[in-house]
Amino acid sequence: MGSRPFTMIAALVFFGVALVHVYRLFVQFQIVIGSHTIPMWWSYFGVVIPALLAILLLRENRAP
């Protein structure tokens, strides 16, 4: 691990968010905020975007 512990922590948080969205897609549970139901297709973005951010942060952490 490099000398950037915050970068590793942020990458793990983003990876965790992506995993929660993958779980939501498999289990098909609804998220309701007030009177609004969050569509299931939002979780596809919730997987791709945080996973890409996690990968980029991990690559940055490995850089010299």
pLDDT for position 2:
55
Name the residue range of residue 30's domain: 5-62
Tally of domains within the chain: 1
pLDDT for position 64:
73
What global pTM score does this model have? 0.84
Query: H or E element: which one contains 38?
Result: strand 36-38
Residue 35 has pLDDT above 60, yes or no: yes
